[in-house]
Structure 1
Amino acid sequence: MAYEFRLPDIGEGLHEAEVLQWFVKVGEDIQADQPVVEVQTDKAAVEIASPVGGRVVSLGGQVGETIKVGDVLIAVDTVSQAMASTDQGASAHQMRLETATSTMALEPQTTVANPDAAPTPTPTPTPTPTPAAAAAAAPAPAPAPAQAGPARKVLAAPAVRKLAHDLGVQLNAIVPSDPSGRVTRADVERAAKLLVQHSESASLPAAAAPTVLKAGSVAGSQALAGPAAQQTASPAQSQQAPATGQAPSHPAQSPEAAPVQPQVLTPAQATNPDQAPAQAASPSAAMAQTQVSPQPLSMSGEPHVAASDRREPIRGLRKRIYQNMTKSMYTAPQTTGMDDLDATRLVELRQRLLPFAEARGIKLTYLPIVIKAVTHVLREYPIFNASVDDEAMEVVYKGAVNIGIATATSDGLLVPVIRDADKKSVFEIARELENLTARGRERKLELSELTGSTFTITSTGANGGWFATPIINHPEVAILGVHSIAKRAVVLDDDSIVAQQRMSFSLTFDHRIIDGEPAGRFMVRFKEYLENPELLLAL
């Protein structure tokens, strides 16, 4: 009986996962602890290994399908692996016997004549063997030795595996260029180029067996017309072309002698093959029909699809973002407050700290200082460091201050988490932030590094605009957006106009449990800390 490996609980409260790609197929022999599938959870792409070895009997779902925790992920016949060594030994022995037998059967038989008898040579015409006889007389090739041993475990990042899946490249066929044995993105791209070159060379006429095609023949017309015209040829036409490449017995016709008359199809005939007239008997008519494209039915009520349109399935990380954003907007009534602050002292503080950060190998941006300021505000107003238990109708105040940082990647938005940010210095936050965001863009983060946030900050960067309305990272109750710092004209109390470094920010909050008044107090205190960043050193 096959061993059924069920999808385990691989995260905090995660109850399902989407299949991104299978590393094995039905009938393949696998080893224990060999990765068999990559799945997308709410937070990250995760590789799952089989706890047992054997032969794959069935897979729990197709790529793009969702499997719930506890459902069968993969079924493995463990008995087949136990018998594998015995079968390999018996197969090798049988192969040696067959090879020896075939060798003996193909040895020429030698007859020793009487040396005293005078031979009388009689010229005998040597018959020309027919192709069938030549094929029968040819020695059978020796069977290739069976490849034994376990399949190589491929080391590759989830992003590299996804790229290989999208490009149709088999990872286990790639020889890694990295000394550690890990397949890199460059390895996959090189393999994809080789596949393209191979397919292009294989599709050239010179790569096929030499075939003489005369003008006017069915086979010649189809070869010139390409695959589209070949598909329109009827079975009767296909049978008229000899398999050996010889021209048919009927005389060839010149293209000038019979001008092509394109056949005009009505919209109903173009969209319904059953209503279309029978294919023309001549190849030229078949070629003409392939040039007629179906016309859109404007009165059918169906949406018009242009030839340039392209459809792409929503899968993986993008599917999770799709679901989480929808759930957030439909669950919590969200309101955004906006303001800006004087960032003059913030800019000066960062400039003073930069040499010390560089000496320690730390990349210091404004964000670590912003994070440190937020941790102080959250301690003062804990309602923003909370979540809602909808079923129990309770507000859950979080004991830890874990700051999620929205990070853009090529596949979508990730939120790596800086845990216990309130207990870390600005330099410690900066070092961890750089590490998390770099590995997040490479999709190398662990699931534990993407879960457990209690409050999220999103930064639109230097070129991100003046204001935005960020969406809450459900089930949190608030999110802070910080935007670009730039010089702007400001009117002072004495009505003078000066150029000042200003930074805008946005606070989106769950209006079910947070009102405008506490949101205003949060924004005032946050503004106070950043306009006077020395306070962060005193608290």
Structure 2
Amino acid sequence: MAGLIQRHGSVLVRRFLASGKRITRNSLATARFHTSTQLDKRVSFNLSDIGEGIREVTVKEWFVSEGDTVEQFDNLCEVQSDKASVTITSRYEGKIVKLHKQVDQIAMVGSPLLDFDVDDEEQVSDDNSNSSSDTDEDVPAQAVAVAAGGGHGVKVALTPCGKVLATPAVRRIAMEHKVDLHRVKPTGRSGRVLKGDVLEYLNMIPEGTVKPHPTLLRTQPTASPEVTDLRQLETIVPIKGVAKIMVKSMTECLKIPHFAYSDELDVSKLVSLREDLKAEAQAQGIKLTYMPFFVKAASNALKQFPILNSTFDEANERLIYKSYHNISIAMHTPQGLVVPNVKNVERKSILEIATDINSLQERGSKGSLTPNDFANGTLSLSNIGMVGGTYTHPCILAPQVAIGAIGQTRLLPRFNASGQVIAAHIMVVSWSADHRVIDGVTMASFSNAWKKLLEKPQLFLLDAK
């Protein structure tokens, strides 16, 4: 009999004895024993099919070494495909005797990753792979999940659905003492029932001897519902109205070869002047901002450099000079970005320009601007400083040939004529010009003429209209 047990495996013979049948040579010979895993406890852990047509992965990191003893569901390694990074977990308990792949080596699907020396009590499936099914009835059917990595991964063992997670050795103890494992409180990793849990349930050891695994002490986050179609999280907004016009105009403007020029201005005197005039303008029912000064200064500088007040007729390769100064002003409205213009600035005072700007802004906020408000603009200005910007690279509004973007005015230290450090109101301007028409010297000269008027606003008096 001892020879029979040695040849056929002690565990399987004990099971046959438990069935109550008499053991004979003939019965052992005809019994369907899975003896291969008992004669050779060394099993290979193969890389299963990851899916998505992936046939190979790269080993990124090993979490174990040869000689380590691991339990079921311990992390073994992390592998990387061209689509995802996946953590491989163990389905066996036992000692690791060989790692088949080193870090950065390629592992093919179906090839062994490592070899285990499993316990005598462990039941090893016939395929010796990290798949999600077991052939031995004592091993619980495992749930299957896809590892993290954008929906691409291998099947890994998770807490089973409807069956208690426990090793065959623990199940044998429970069977011998007729214990329903569903009634035993688990303390092992991820809710596994341990041998100590069964012994506590049977009052063979004091209650509380087995401490819960840390995974049971952590608060499990509430899983958010999985979104199978990302389009459910998208909102489709058709482009129409002002936004549709902007798409067309900006597409056209970026066909223009832009070049940029930037400079800074000391507008301390302009700040003081505007503060003095603001109350008087308010008495006349006019809100006086800095923009009317910028617009008027641009008009005066255009008289010296009329080429910046032209439009480029690309089809006929010619410039069209405009005698009127219709200065376009970029405005943010509930409908989007609009660029209406103040007509005939060259003939208007600063207060008249302020009145026109206020009217355009009011009608823009109500969406009541007319096509005439946008027609025949000759030069554009944009005040990005209203939202805190400094430098930018504005896009020219075709068929115009230049645009200026005015940055935020900041109080900064500067040296005066005597070499003393003073607080100065510094503003930055960024110009963009059509390099087919405007050269750098012309753009810089125009900017300097505009800058001179704003740094010395009393010069407006010399040609006030």
For normalisation by structure 2, the TM-score amounts to 0.50
- Whichever of the two has the greater Rg, that structure is 2
